[in-house]
Amino acid sequence: EDRLLFDYQTSLAEQLDYQPVAAKRASEVLMQDYYRNAKSVTQLNVILLQNIGAAIFPPSDQAPVPINERFQIAHEMLDVRHEHVFSETPSAILESFLLIEQDATLKGMTARTLRALYRARALIDDRFRADPANRALFLQILQQPRGLVHELRRMNQYGILGRYLPNFGAIVGQMQHDLFHIYTVDQHILMVVRNLRRFTMEEFAHEYPFCTRLISEFDKRWLLFIAALFHDIAKGRGGDHSEQGTGDARTFCEQHGLSAEDTELVVWLVRAHLTMSNVAQKQDISDPDVVKAFADIVGNERRLTALYLLTVADIRGTSPKVWNSWKGQLLQDLYSATRKQLLEGGQAPAAQGVIQERQTEAMRLLRYFALSGTVHERLWKQLDTGYFLRHSAEEIAWHTRCLHYRPNDERPVVKARINPNAEGLQVMVYLRDQRDLFARVVGFFGRAGYSIVDAKIHTTRHGYALDSFVLLDVSDRDNDREMIPFIEHELTERLLHEHPPEAPAGARLSRRLKHFPITPTVRIESDDKGAQYVLSVVAADRPGLLYAIATTLAKHGATLHTAKIATLGERVEDTFLVSGGALSQSAGRIILESELLEQLKV
């Protein structure tokens, strides 16, 4: 085997006598050394291959074009005027990268320049970092309208970035065996900067239209690049990297002459960079109180926009498997609701006002289908405040269209459609409530090849279950539209005949999960109102995981109200709002936690 797979990293680290440190496995220490040495080999290869190319294909005798007394252009490459440029003028180290950003015709650096850079790296010391001219040059690099990502990557490749920012140097090559980051910390950080830069580029506006619009109106967008550089810089130190990174960010901002206002924005972004993702994916963002609490944390629209842009760039920079349009829609919905809250003075709207607004909008949508103004009455009188607070006006209108003429039907009603706001399917299930319903539905979806990313569970006043699910195809079959008739027919039949829950088919654990398992955690806490309980689960993802949780809840007689399913690569962070059973008793909660932990073991 010529690949250093996860299977071999731990045993190889032991054979090479690598020892774990406070916040790193021995295998992570090994891989950091590996990546750093591979980077050095790559740098030497670039110099060697350029020399070989020049020997085999000698360039024309075209005279170099001087730029200044230190640099010139030689065959579309940046070239030093002489071998001692960097030792005579150390600030020219940073100037070289700035010049490439400023001249679109430059394709890179000559081998002579790279050799000189390699020898000059040791000149970047405390005195170099304290020089106001060098600090100004580094800020200029971050503020250029083009070439930022290429030059930061070049600076990282040649060891310049890690020397200028020593804390960044500490995370170069550091692997993250957390089941959802697939890049080393330094590469992830540069990927986040790259994503932010793409928001500013017209050619990528079709990929991120909302982000492109927001960043085009954002003053001093280079502050976002600084926040991106520092958001994960404290990884590997142990403890809360978000909090620890704020010290590094503040020091950088103050040393580089940023205003107090700009400094506070960058520091706040580093501290809060996980907050928006956690709220969007783990809390009920249709609840005005949740939005109000998040608006209180954010404080103003500028912070909100900056945090939204950084959050999208961060999630997209972890792994191609982590981001999906459903998460994108959650974040955009939270942004819009919070912005509205801030513009209205930060006061949470009364629940009754929110309900009235959604009902009015739902009735307006119903009129598009030539339905009368009273068509909703029979169904809506069976729905309580919780239903209208947890569903959007569009969802309420869809449910009403499907159910207004059969609110007391004895036959289960299952309706599915393409998700109008994101990828995947939306499925509505309506029937007289029955035992183990959630487990039965979860098992069916799992066997059909779908994962549930959101579930809203509601029981009407007359004892009917009105449940809504958002599904994503785990096998990427790209046939959601063709699956709609299958789901509607097959699930209806299973619910009609009350078939027992069927567990989804098992699957082999991934190599990464097998060798770097995570310890599952389960926490049950009373919600803010004290009427229900928040069940938080962190575990390794695997087929049948949600089914195992559903059957355990059913066994304990717990009633599920909402489920937020957040899948981060091969790690899940699920949040459920539950009540009933023995949850009101401390002993009952402990027993449920223990059984769930047993079910979650890999």
Instruction: Give the pLDDT confidence of 109-128 residue by residue, as tens digits.
Output: 999 999 999 899 999 999 99
SS3 421: coil
Give me the amino acid identity at 124: I
State the Cα–Cα distance between residues 532 and 568, nearest whole angstrom: 26
Non-local (6+) Cβ contacts of 336 within 8 A are none
Instruction: State the alpha helices, DSSP H only, in 16-131.
Output: 26-56, 85-88, 92-102, 111-120, 126-130
State the Cα–Cα distance between residues 566 and 536, nearest whole angstrom: 11
Instruction: Give the pLDDT confidence of 449-476 residue by residue, as tens digits.
Output: 888 888 888 989 999 999 999 898 877 7
The better pLDDT of the pair 385, 228 is held by 228
Percent of the chain with pLDDT over 70: 96
What is the full DSSP assignment across 207-233?
T-HHHHHHHHT-S-THHHHHHHHHTTT
CATH 2.40.50.140 fits 363-600, yes or no: no
Non-local (6+) Cβ contacts of 235 within 8 A are 171, 174, 176, 185, 241
pTM for the model stands at 0.86
- Nearest-5° angle of CA 36, CA 37, CA 38? 90
Residue of 100, 120, 101 whose CA lies nearest to 109: 100
What is the full DSSP assignment across 271-336?
HHTTHHHHHHHHS-TTSHHHHHHHHHHH-SHHHHHHHHHHHHHHHHTT-TTT--HHHHHHHHHHHH
Q: Locate 157 and state its tokens.
A: 């490749």
Instruction: Give the pLDDT confidence of 421-454 residue by residue, as tens digits.
Output: 878 899 999 999 888 899 999 999 988 988 888 8
Chain mean position to CA 23: 22
